[in-house]
Amino acid sequence: MKKQPLNFWQLWNMSVGFFGIQFGWGLQMANMSAIFEYLGANAHQIPILWLAAPLTGLIVQPIIGNMSDNTWGSLGRRRPYFLVGAILSTLALIAMPHSSALWMAAGLLWILDTSVNISMEPFRAFVGDLVPRNQRTMGFAMQSLFIGLGAVSASALPWILNNIFHIPSLSSNKGAIPLTVELSFYIGAAFFLGTVLWTVLSTEEYPPKNLEAFEKQQEKKGGVINSIREAWIALQEIPPVMKQLAWVQCFTWLGMFCFFLYFPPAVAWNIFGATNQQSLLYNDGIEWAGICIAFYNAVCFGVSLLLPRMAQITNRQITHSFCLLCGGAGFMSLMVIDNQYWLFLAMVGVGIAWASILTLPYSMLIGGLPPKRTGIFMGIFNFFIVLPQIAVSLGFGWVMDNFLDNNRLLAVVIGGVFMVIAAFLTQRVETIPAQDLPKPEVQLSEETAV
């Protein structure tokens, strides 16, 4: 079936769900470490409490991606997964501020991360399914717009509620999650469900050309077991360029996950000088960290538009190495920053790195993949994002307790060292025949985040 050209509002409708999904991710990344500390977690306990995020990505992403490829029903191919994931994510977002114990918050994070992945993975294929080839640039640009807006808005929301709408951030109950964070999660739940519903109800999918043949394929390749089997076969046939990029990704995500885990608490304890997690300084620091995260996402969105030109002038390896070095410098500069406003300079480096992390590794990879198996290998490539996060979750708490004296800022600085190593490893990646760079997708998906 020939794909019909889409007008502006059709592209808008099919992309708007990304705003809610990214809003959910942004709330999680900016606030979960602080929520764990509000509930009594020590610095060395935070990594293991985050284990749910990368582990669910490792398990859910390839399975849901393959299942959505082989699904057709009354709601179409991808939309059933959007809707189920959105409903479950909404319930988890509403429940999260009511966590009264660490085990409850960690369990809800597990549910939230699994649910967001159920919505997110099929959404990535939506543009390819519906948009004609000559409109894909506009389709990806529209996605990028909503992803960027969602990330920036969610990260800044607690600060906005406190400083613009004057909602008090401190709770009268010791160990309770601040009201600004609680309201942010409620607003995020509304945005998540509302925007995904908008896309589900306003966008139709194309049925398979031959429904009978599709049902046979669904029986052969669909389902959890067949998805696992397909991934296992592909794991044994990893192309050489993926093996080289695997090392780059592993060290990159060792660094980024250290940042995600410890940057907000580091701002509160080390920059703002908080002495306990129930103090006003601690809340102010966490909210300011959210502003910093919003700022680097805004930088990322701008830089991502320049990356194709930068890579054309030099090459993708040099450009990616430069961007990773900027990120490493941003992380390590926290050692000498003692003013909250200087954090924005560090975030410029982080934003430059983040833009490249979301684009250039995939550009270097795509030319070395078999065209008919790109999807499954892209799913496996995500393993090299989540496996280092699992390693940090399982082992970095011991490092914090035995070597870093639970200093959260030092954890971020070590993340910068990992980024520098990744920058040098990028130069070992063999040159791949030139391909068009993928259009930038500014996202914090725990495919690329946790």
pLDDT at residue 141, rounded to an integer: 64
Distance CA(158)–CA(27), nearest Å, equals: 9
CA 396 to chain CA centroid, Å, is: 20
CB within 8 A of 64, min separation 6: which ones? 81, 117, 118, 121, 122
Where are the chain's structural domains?
10-205+221-426
Q: Round to whole Å and give the CA distance between 268 and 280.
A: 10
Q: What single letter denotes the amino acid at residue 282?
A: Y
What's the average pLDDT block by block, 10 residues per block, for the chain (450 residues)? 78 90 92 93 94 81 73 79 93 94 93 88 72 69 81 95 88 72 96 95 77 58 63 74 92 97 96 91 95 95 86 91 98 95 97 91 77 65 89 96 95 98 94 47 42
Tokens 């990773």 — which residue? Answer: 324
In 267-306, which ranges are continuous DSSP H helix? 280-304
For residues 168 and 156, give the distance between their C-alpha atoms in angstroms, rounded to a whole number. Answer: 15
Give 10-205+221-426's CATH code, choosing from 3.40.50.620, 1.20.1250.20, 3.30.450.20, 1.10.8.50: 1.20.1250.20
Q: How far apart are CA 178 and CA 174, in angstroms?
A: 10
The pLDDT of residue 397:
96
Given a contact cutoff of 8 angstroms between Cβ atoms, the answer to whether 255 and 234 are in contact is: no
Total residues belonging to the chain: 450
Whether 182 contacts 34, CB under 8 Å:
no
- The three-class DSSP label of residue 51 is coil
Place of tokens 């993928």: 438
Can you give the pTM of this predicted structure?
0.84
d(CA 378, CA 223): 19
